Chains A and B, each alone.
Chain A
Amino acid sequence: MSAPGRAGHSPEMVEYSGAMNLDETELTLGLPGGESRGKSGTKRGFPDTIDLSIGAKRRSLTGGGEAAKDPDIAVAERREDEVSGTISSKPPATKTQVVGWPPVRSFRKNVMTKSCKFVKVAVDGAPYLRKVDLEMYSSYQQLLAALEGMFSCFTIRKYLKERKLMDPANGGEYVPTYEDKDGDWMLVGDVPWKMFVESCKRLRLMKGSEAVGLAPRASASTCTSSSS
């Protein structure tokens, strides 16, 4: 299985990192490089997406079959299926960075980045990725409550000390972990909140069984301190 710190990247994804922008191999629902993200109108609960996720992920990586076709062509084929109505004749654009798009003035962008701290949130087994702005919360409790809201199937266990997220459908526990500035994967909740906000680069809700290797940075006694 995937090692901690790789956010669930399977070997196939790593193989294709040369062909595609690594960002495009992030866990997202739908096609990498696709403008139409394939998201349907209503958000589906996690249990609904489980079966789909395994299938979709594989299709999007290998291009619709067991054999590895050229991923870019496969992407184009999928897009023709997905977009009903008039099929435009232009070639599907790859998802490169485009100058000046979206049309937000750099003045506005520069000022805003000062007060935001967006980090990606990955959930093991979920086919989609979310982003949260850590600046919007002032405690671990608020953050976990927000995560619960987003990945709507979890409930925070009563014992906040443990800070695990339960998935009733799956029966497993999800442990919130994060990658810090140094690239190490840590358990969420071990350091004071502000320090966490500063050092957190991305979040991952790991399956309980996977998190065994992650030792808390401090001793168990700090875990009992209030979540602030």
Chain B
Amino acid sequence: MGDNHHPLAEMAEEDGDHQPLRGSDPPDQVLDTVLETVLQFLTCRQDRNSASLVCQSWHRAEALTRSELFIGNCYAVSPARATARFPRVESIYIKGRPRFADFNLMPRNWGAHFRPWVSAMSRAYPWLEKVYLKRMSLTNDDLALLADSFRQFKELELVFCEGFGTKGLSEIASKCRQLRVLDLSDTEVIDDAMDWISSFPEGETPLESLTFDCVECEINFEALEGLVARSPSLKKLRLNRYVSIRQLYQLLIKAPQLTHLGTGSFSQSENIQHLDDNQDLDYHSAFAACKSLVCLSGFKEVMPEYLPSIYPVCANLTSLNFSYTNINPQQFRSVIVHCHKLQNLWLLDTVCDEGLQAVAASCKDLRELRVFPVHPDEDIEGPVSEVGLQAISEGCRKLQSILYFCQRMTNEAVIAMSRNCPDLVVFRLCIMGRHQPDHVTRKPMDEGFGAIVKNCRKLTRLAVSGLLTDKAFSYIGQYGKLVRTLSVAFAGDSDMGLRYVLEGCPRLQKLEIRDSPFGDEALWAGAHRYYNMRFLWMSSCRVSRLGCQEIARSMPHLVVELLRYEEEDAPFVEEDNNNFSVLYMYRSLEQTRNDAPESVTIL
């Protein structure tokens, strides 16, 4: 968030060999020690990147004192190179697949394997404490290796990952005795029929955070109850939908110290046959006892009649995730009117424009809003529209980040938001109908998005949609000087659109484009930018294999991958230009990777 850094520095973080060109000083032990002592306090990686460029001493000292390693693209640098340059890493953050892979636009076996990293680190960083992976593939064996290799391992966070199962979780639970954090978010976990909750050791645990709301397997509730009871430091607990509201109650009365709670299903289990089932427990009191609760999520199969039990905690909530919660505007309103401190809110559009009006009235401190479609379709009249967006813009002036799915929108509402919410850093609007114009004026959505880049001076992330001409892109190029991430779909008229962006946005790092009429000329126009970007994704556009080959030939540190999408289950529009559907290119210090599947051609 809000990364303002010099493009060269970003390259330096991945470039182990890039030594600064000052005259080489003879190594001074005292100076080096002083340097290291000072530099260890530098935490921000952009500052560290800058420091490493000052001179050789600084480069060396910085490398020795960097304890947090951020790898923005797992293929930009090899594990060998990273571990060689930074010998004392305690926590590592690795990102794999590009974001559009989440929408089935990439073959599943494309890559981003954790194995080479965990292998290298098992030798290089025996004291490793923290691993955070995003969009990586990992196996049970990888988790077993991790559990075996790092005696002090404390935190594992997996976001949008896949490839492993409950067996792997069991390894982590049983062997990582100092485990404080085990967080799985939107991660696919295979049901290996392994009771991983029971794998946690007996006795008190140092667990602080346990998140498994995405795990689609039943769990041993008794074991979970026991685990919670013997984890006095537990602050964050996010349950999956196999936990009923009765079971939630049992946990809450054992853990009133929780600050973050994912409620699980929040409904009655259908299977329980107990005699006292009809007797409702005092859920209200159980919640009232949780005086520290600030973050609430779950409600995966919510029975709305139980919602009033959360009223006691609403006044303190700063974060509420109702994005799996199918409730109507009235049910939602009765909750949201109590939530005056809310800063982060995720919703389903079933709350309708009315629900958003209620948010605007109650949540004056709102910073982040996400509205997801309950029915991600193109041919129905959606329940939220420009009315909701306008209301939010008027009521939530401190808004910094918004993701809004809708069926219809107007320039007027978007312009209003650009004026009312000048602090916007992230603006992602998804008008689900492709090429949809402003539904009142029938004009393209150019002016709306233009106003956003013009008026929101802090904007770093933008996703556009609806009917857009090259004009919209000229606005982005002209005003979007801080934009780092841009997502484009079904937009633009000609190569000029892409050119405006590539020539106008100096901070652009991640550019993902699909189904837009941009071709080889535009691709060439951006050649001067690609070493300063993390990646460029173009799918179903007009680039040709020849054009891509030219780029690949002239830029040796750029990996140019052409992907053919071949899976049978999903329908796919045939590409007629040289038989590839995705161009994915990224800078890298390494040779061509050897783990790519057949559907990938690396030029």
Consensus secondary structure, chain A interface: loop
Contact code string B551-575 (vs A, CB < 8 Å = 1, else 0): 0000000000000010000111100
> Smallest distance from the beta carbon of A137 to chain B beta carbons, Å?
9
For residue A6, CB closer than 8 A to chain B, the reply is no
How far, in Å, is A58 (CB) from chain B's closest CB? 21
Which A residues are CB-close (under 8 A) to B241? 111
Q: Do residues A104 and B372 form an inter-chain contact, with CB atoms below 8 A?
A: yes
How many residues from B make CB contacts under 8 Å with A?
58
Q: Is B68 an interface residue (CB 8 A)?
A: no
- Would B186 and A116 count as touching, CB distance under 8 A? no
Chain A's closest residue to B162 (CB) is A107
**Known contacts A35-B436, A86-B444, A102-B432; A116/B372 CB under 8 A:** no
Q: Is the CB of B471 within 8 A of A86?
A: yes
Q: When the two chains form the complex, which single residue of B104, B326, B471 contacts A112, counting CB atoms closer than 8 Å?
A: B326
Confirm or deny: B214 has a beta carbon within 8 angstroms of a beta carbon on chain A. Answer: yes
In angstroms, Cα B467 to Cα A85, docked, is 11
Known: A97-B571, A133-B374. A41 touches B440 (CB 8 A): yes
Q: CB distance A35 to B100 under 8 Å?
A: no
Tell me if A136 counts as interface (CB < 8 A to partner B).
yes
Chain A, 175-189, contact with B by CB distance < 8 Å: what is the 0/1 string? 000000000000000
**Which of A36, A39, A96, A97 counts the most chain B CB atoms within 10 A?**
A36
A136 to B467, CA, bound (A): 33
Question: Most chain-B CB neighbours within 10 Å: which of A40, A96, A104, A111?
Answer: A104
Instruction: Give the residues from 233 to 278 in chain B that come closer than 8 angstroms, CB to CB, to chain A.
Output: 241
Q: A96 and B374: CB pair below 8 A?
A: no
- Chain A residues in 8 Å Cβ range of B467: 35-36, 83, 88
B47 partner residues in chain A, CB cutoff 8 A: none
Interface residue? B324 (CB, 8 A): yes
Query: Who on chain A is nearest to B383 by CB?
Result: A133
| Nearest B residue (CB) for A110 | B216
Q: Does B381 contact A (CB under 8 A)?
A: yes
A116-B374, A116-B375 given; A84·B326 CB < 8 A: no
Report chain B residues within 8 Å CB of A158: none
In whole angstroms, what is the CA distance A36 to B572 when docked?
A: 23
| Chain A 111-137 interface 0/1 with B at a Cβ cutoff of 8 Å (1 = within) | 110111010000000000011010110
Partner among A82, A106, A136 whose Cβ is within 8 Å of the Cβ of B350: A136
Q: Please give, as numbers and ranges, the residues of chain A lying within 8 Å of B573 by CB-CB distance.
A: 96, 98-99
Q: Does A103 contact B (CB under 8 A)?
A: yes
A-B contact count (CB 8 A): 136
Q: A130 and B381 in contact (CB under 8 A), knowing A37-B433, A82-B442? A: yes
B434 lies within 8 A of chain A by Cβ: yes
B494 in the interface, Cβ–Cβ < 8 Å? Answer: yes
- Taking CB atoms, residues of chain A closer than 8 Å to B381 are 39, 130-131
Given A35-B436, A104-B405, verify A99-B105 contact (CB < 8 Å).
yes
Select one of B324, B410, B440, B571 contacting A96, CB under 8 A. Answer: B571
User: B328: which A residues are within 8 A, CB to CB?
Assistant: 136
Can you list, as one digit per residue, whether each of B175-205 has a CB less than 8 Å from chain A (1) or not (0)? Answer: 0000000000010100000000000000000
Q: At the interface, yes or no: B388 with Cβ under 8 Å from chain A?
A: no
Q: Is B59 an interface residue (CB 8 A)?
A: no
On whether the beta carbons of B442 and A85 are closer than 8 Å, the reply is yes
Q: Are B104 and A39 in contact (CB-based, < 8 A)?
A: no
The answer on a CB contact under 8 Å between B571 and A99 is yes
Task: Let me know if B550 is at the binding interface, CB within 8 A.
Answer: no
Report chain A residues within 8 Å CB of B56.
none
Which of B103, B186, B214, B379 is close to A103, meaning CB atoms less than 8 Å apart? B103
User: Contact between B439 and A41 (Cβ–Cβ < 8 Å)?
Assistant: yes
Contact of A102 among B104, B373, B408 (CB under 8 A): B373
Assuming the contacts A36-B437, A114-B301, asked whether A85 and B444 have C-beta atoms less than 8 A apart, the reply is yes
B102 at the binding interface (Cβ < 8 Å): yes
The answer to whether A115 and B435 have CB atoms under 8 Å apart is no
A12-53, CB under 8 A of B: which get 1 and which 0? 000000000001000010000001110111000000000000
A11 interface residue, CB < 8 Å from B?
no
Which residue on chain B has the smallest CB distance to residue A104? B376
A73 to chain B, nearest CB (A): 18
4 A-B pairs with the lowest CB-CB distances in the bound complex, closest first: A100-B103, A41-B440, A104-B376, A35-B435
Which residues of B come within 8 Å of A, CB atoms? 100, 102-105, 186, 188, 214, 241, 300-301, 323-324, 326, 328, 348, 350, 372-381, 405, 408, 410, 430, 432-437, 439-444, 467, 469, 471, 489-490, 493-494, 514-515, 517, 565, 570-573
Q: Chain A residues in contact with chain B, CB under 8 A?
A: 23, 28, 35-37, 39-41, 82-86, 88-90, 93, 95-109, 111-112, 114-116, 118, 130-131, 133, 135-136
